[in-house]
């Protein structure tokens, strides 16, 4: 098991108080906190070897390039990629998906071709496909959500066809916590000749993820949700597919030869990394990957599974509380969207904040999903490796405070 108290000591921000109370940070699905090693790597880079990468003959540039490329290899190992050149650095998951939408989908999709997404998607795995469909005449198909918060896989099998070019699905829902069976979905898609993009923004930080086991063709995720700095996203693409793709952005670093009227592209992955990348943040993403690897992603998952079981049990004790999404711990991650009677999520969030408990209140970039659930918004508590059962207790106690305030009003009318 994880030694959570020791882990917590590595995260300086967890020492702070909010409104006079110890911080209980439960907004990890939005972004995670950073261990000292990551923060120090940023400082170290700027103090010792700040330079542009892939350009200079001088020592600093060589050191920066080595550090940058070492992290590419670390990322490849972390997700089980066969080749580090399959790893493209972008800004975030959203940019990774848009890269596929522009550099692959718009060149491949023909009128009448189909792209399958699901009702559980974050806007970032929906809008890029809406736009690509609009530009190409392709058709967007939806895998419906069942009432238990899981995807309707019978419907999925039924809408897959030889017209399907791409299946774009999130591995773990940021709103419901549902873990989708993407390996099975990928196998079915490949039988129809379609490619598969997995949005791993929520899964790569929390589950062991191996692209060979998933069998997907694209995997997109963000460093900042997995202990790394903001500004780093990853697009992993199977080599044959990536090599077949034209550039996304044009500019420096992505070319071999340039004439006034044309250019030859660089090899992968540099073909997709035009301009100066976010060097410092990529370099500091390295210690984040090391931190997770040292703990072991199976251990991270085991810890969160235990927290999830405990949170499900404790939250069910709260009168009037409804948990959206799967009700069993095994088929979900540590992301809990909930409602509390008719109290608006904003009011829940404000009262919890006064108690030092940080959660998210809103539509979680899933407006169509919120409509499907019949609510304008939900409150969302999301856990990570440094969270404890005592913090679940703090959440439950703070929810009691919410009920106290809003129950008081009801008693007077």
Partner 1 sequence: MNTGLSSLDELYREVILDHYQSPRNRGRLADPDVANAGSNPLCGDEIELSLRIRDGQVADVAFDGRGCSISQASASMMTEAIKGKPLEAVRAVLGEFKTLMTDKNAEAVDAAALGDLEALQGVRRYPVRVKCALLPWNVLQESLELYRAGQARGGQHE
Q: Which residues, including other chains, have CB under 8 Å from residue 59's CB and lie 6 or more apart?
A: none
Nearer to partner 1, 1 or 413 (CB): 413
Of 84, 77, 22, 37, whose CA–CA distance to 285 is shortest?
37
Applying CB under 8 A, among 274, 344, 358, 388 the residue interacting with partner 1 is 344
Q: Residue 28: is the preceding peptide bond cis (ω within 30°)? A: no
Catalytic residue selected from 365, 366, 370, 398 = 365
Q: How far apart, in Å, are the Cα atoms of 69 and each of 53, 279, 354, 389?
A: 9, 10, 44, 39
Backbone angles phi, psi at 34, to 5 degrees: -115, 135
Residue keyed to tokens 């949170």: 311
Nearer to partner 1, 251 or 400 (CB): 400
Closest separation in Å from C-beta 175 to partner 1: 14
408 scored as a contact of partner 1 (CB under 8 A): yes
Closest separation in Å from C-beta 362 to partner 1: 6
How buried is residue 19: exposed, middle or buried, by Cβ count under 10 Å (0-12/13-18/19+)? Answer: exposed
Nearer to partner 1, 211 or 398 (CB): 398
Q: How far apart, in Å, are the Cα atoms of 367 and each of 77, 239, 362?
A: 35, 34, 9
Contacts with partner 1, 368-397, as mask; x by CB under 8 A: --x-----xx--------------------
Applying CB under 8 A, among 205, 231, 233, 345 the residue interacting with partner 1 is 345
How many CA atoms lie less than 13 Å away from 13 in the CB half-sphere?
A: 14
Nearer to partner 1, 17 or 412 (CB): 412
Helix (H) or strand (E) holding 348: helix 345-354
Q: Token digits for 383? A: 């856990």
Applying CB under 8 A, among 351, 357, 366, 394 the residue interacting with partner 1 is 351
CA–CA distance, 348 with 359 (Å, rounded to integer): 9
Nearer to partner 1, 43 or 346 (CB): 346
Interacting span for partner 1 (CB under 8 A) from 212-220, 252-260, 271-279, 403-411 = 403-411
Interacting span for partner 1 (CB under 8 A) from 249-257, 330-338, 339-347, 384-392 = 339-347
410 scored as a contact of partner 1 (CB under 8 A): yes
Of 278, 277, 250, 275, whose CA–CA distance to 265 is shortest?
250
Cβ-contact 137, 165 below 8 angstroms: no
Residue 366 annotated as catalytic: no
Closest separation in Å from C-beta 342 to partner 1: 10
Nearer to partner 1, 26 or 343 (CB): 343
93: left (phi over 0), alpha (psi -120 to 50) or beta: alpha
Nearer to partner 1, 269 or 349 (CB): 349
Q: Which residues, including other chains, have CB under 8 Å from residue 256's CB and lie 6 or more apart?
A: 263, 264, 265, 266
Interacting span for partner 1 (CB under 8 A) from 49-57, 144-152, 316-324, 402-410 = 402-410
350 scored as a contact of partner 1 (CB under 8 A): yes
Closest separation in Å from C-beta 252 to partner 1: 37
Give residues 352-371 in contact with partner 1 (rule: CB under 8 A): 354, 361-363, 370
Interacting span for partner 1 (CB under 8 A) from 97-105, 108-116, 161-169, 350-358 = 350-358
Of 27, 322, 335, 81, whose CA–CA distance to 218 is shortest?
81
Q: Which residues bind partner 1 (CB under 8 A)?
A: 343-347, 350-351, 354, 361-363, 370, 376-377, 405-406, 408-410, 412-413
For the annotated catalytic residues, the residue numbers are 365
């Amino acid at each position: 098991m994880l030694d959570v108290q020791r882990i917590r000591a590595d995260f300086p921000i967890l020492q702070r108080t909010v409104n006079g109370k110890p911080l209980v940070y439960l907004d990890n699905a939005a972004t995670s906190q950073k261990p000292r090693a990551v923060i120090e790597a940023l400082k170290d880079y700027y103090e010792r070897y700040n330079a542009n990468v892939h350009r200079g003959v001088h020592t600093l540039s060589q050191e920066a390039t080595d550090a940058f490329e070492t992290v590419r290899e670390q990322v490849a190992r972390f997700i089980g990629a066969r080749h580090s050149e399959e790893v493209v650095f972008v800004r975030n998951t959203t940019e990774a998906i848009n890269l596929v939408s522009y550099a692959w989908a718009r060149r491949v999709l023909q009128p009448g071709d189909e792209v399958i997404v699901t009702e559980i998607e974050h806007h970032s795995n929906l809008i890029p496909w809406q736009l690509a469909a609009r530009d190409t005449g392709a058709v967007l198909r939806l895998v419906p959500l069942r009432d238990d918060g899981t995807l309707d896989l019978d419907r999925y099998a039924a809408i897959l066809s030889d017209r399907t070019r791409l299946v774009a699905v999130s591995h773990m829902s940021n709103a419901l916590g549902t873990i989708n069976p993407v390996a099975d979905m990928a196998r079915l898609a490949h039988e129809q000749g379609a490619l598969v993009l997995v949005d791993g923004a929520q899964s790569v930080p929390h589950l062991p993820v191996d692209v060979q086991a998933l069998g997907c063709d694209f995997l997109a995720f963000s460093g900042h949700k997995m202990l790394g700095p903001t500004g780093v996203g990853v697009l992993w693409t199977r080599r044959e597919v990536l090599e077949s793709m034209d550039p996304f952005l044009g500019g420096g670093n992505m070319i071999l030869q340039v004439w006034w009227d044309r250019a030859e592209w660089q090899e992968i992955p540099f073909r997709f990394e035009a301009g100066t990348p976010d060097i410092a943040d990529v370099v500091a993403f390295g210690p984040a990957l090391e931190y997770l690897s040292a703990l072991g992603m199976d251990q991270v998952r085991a810890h969160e599974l235990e927290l999830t079981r405990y949170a499900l049990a404790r939250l069910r004790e709260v009168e009037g509380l409804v948990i959206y999404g799967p009700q069993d711990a095994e088929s979900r991650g540590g992301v809990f969207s909930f409602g509390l009677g008719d109290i608006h999520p904003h009011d829940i969030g404000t009262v919890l904040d006064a108690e030092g408990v940080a959660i998210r209140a809103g539509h979680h970039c899933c407006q169509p999903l919120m409509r499907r659930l019949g609510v304008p918004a939900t409150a969302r508590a999301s856990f990570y490796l440094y969270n404890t059962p005592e913090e679940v207790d703090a959440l439950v106690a703070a929810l009691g405070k919410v009920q106290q305030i809003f129950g008081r009003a009801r008693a007077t009318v």
